[in-house]
A and B are shown apart, each in its own frame.
Chain A
């Protein structure tokens, strides 16, 4: 319990740091992009909004601590400001609308990559130095080196443009009506396939390699030899004995990867113009839509911090040594 409280305290402090960083970054940066921004907004937005923007970016005579107070107050009320590009849509609404797309695409792809990669890793370690194990290394090393976004570009070009098998951009056809019909779901799946596949194929290798390395250490442990001596079936030893105790580091990595999925894949989503968080982030950066950039970054940071917190609890639950604080040999 004390462990949980301590970690929770750390989480609160970390969140406070993320929030403060988010407040400080625009104020510490050289030049004043915010002033250009206000100049751009003049005439388009009503004075009240301009005033709010000026407060948000520190273009005011107020002392810093007072600005900070206002900022914290707005955050507590869930106000992340108003987007400039999509004016007058609030930032929170944009994030809310893009999040499902990102989770549906990157979240699902992450889960698939974890599942497939871990299974392959178990298999490679179990048949160490056999055919599959000896080819998996170079292949996953190569796939791990290909820049994901470049592969995505090539796939878009070949399968989308040359072959015409898949749509080129967006998450569903402009003619499709968003309902829960079979044809619409099929349309969405077709749009998600290429970006999802590009993500999947470049991330499987990491899971496989990690699982294989954990598993190899476990396979030579006594309890596995003992299970073998008892005459248990190979498959049973592989999954319920060896893999089960080797999977722990991968599970925690998986939780972190799920947290990362919330931030989307900036490059892949941009290439396919997939309307997720990553795409919004990239276009916000190129449009200098600072409130949106800040909002996405803040939400993403907090999600990551909370995920880390959950992972630590999970680890303590699964591995008692962490909880008690026994030094590892």
Chain B
């Protein structure tokens, strides 16, 4: 970092027009995203679940673990989602479960993204031996079957809780994303703007942080979204199998409890539907958001311009112009 201090910083008069432009640039991504109908639907659904995550204690109508009434009551005005085999309120379980699961999802997203960025960008930019070693590690991790590996590791951790689940999922889910980051960093490493930064004496770390990283933000965001899906599905996967299941409500735990109490065979569909439907909705919303980001950042996916009726292009030259 000491190198970067030598770069002279000339204090500039704040140019209002420039500031304005910068602000517009910064919000352009979000503005475009909001114009994409798929992404909007996704953001709304995700927002709904994030809202529940944040305000869980306010929204829940009962204590999720307290035994309240008769077992196996169908949904009613008091128990919106019915009761469990022990007479607990399913709605409150679901509300607090949303919190647990979403936090695990966000945590896995964060860990997975950070690792994939560090490994991918560093390897792709630096090249050489470090890159070879990191790339090799990525390939090994990629070749091993991921869910069985997660299962093996998890099975050795006694009393794995939410934190353990987050760590296991986060630490095993980065390889594919790291490979993509590496590929992109590789193409940036030889570009002129990186070269220019290098020649002006900016340190490698700084180049990675200020020149390369900002240019792959959409990919990073994409990764975060996918990793979050991994986290949410992974939580359900592990806990449904009884690994790391605790008394804390979560979507995976709810499915596990319902399965152990043979809810479906006792007619208690209301215990199974909320967590499963929630997982479906959240994964769907994340997919939609990812599609939205793709449409914005990938010009090849952009819709061809609308042409007046009766106007025909000679042999579809609009598409595939880039592939030459």
Contacts and interface: CB of A to CB of B under 8 A. Distances in A.
A285 interface: yes
Nearest to A218: B320
Interface string B273-284: 000100111011
B156 A296 contact: no
B136 to A, nearest CB: 9
Contacts of A304: 143-145
B121 interface: no
A267 interface: yes
**Size band of the interface chain A makes with B:** 35 or more
Given A25-B152, A285-B155, A297-B152, A147 B145 contact: no
Please report whether the interface of chain A is mostly helix, strand, loop or mixed according to DSSP.
Answer: helix
A286 interface: yes
Contacts, number: 124
| Residue of B149, B153, B236, B320 with most chain A CB atoms under a 10 A cut-off | B320
Contacts of B242: 285-286
Contact of B148 (A26, A31, A141, A263): A263
A281 to B, nearest CB: 7
7 contacts: A147-B279, A149-B237, A225-B316, A260-B145, A281-B151, A300-B145, A305-B143
A286 B148 CA distance: 14
A215 interface: no
Contacts of B284: 141-142, 145
Contact of B241 (A14, A154, A156, A266): A266
Interface string B242-262: 110000000000010001000
Contacts of A25: 152-153, 156
Contact of A17 (B140, B152, B155, B287): B140
Contacts of B281: 145
B1 interface: no
Interface string B300-324: 0000000000000001100110010
B35 to A, nearest CB: 18
Given A285-B243, A293-B155, A266 B319 contact: no
B293 to A, nearest CB: 15
A220 interface: yes
Nearest to A213: B301
Contacts of B264: 153, 156-157, 161
Contact of A150 (B139, B149, B280): B280
Interface in B58-79: none
Contact of B280 (A145, A216, A285, A288): A145
A149 B143 CA distance: 24
A216 B316 CA distance: 12
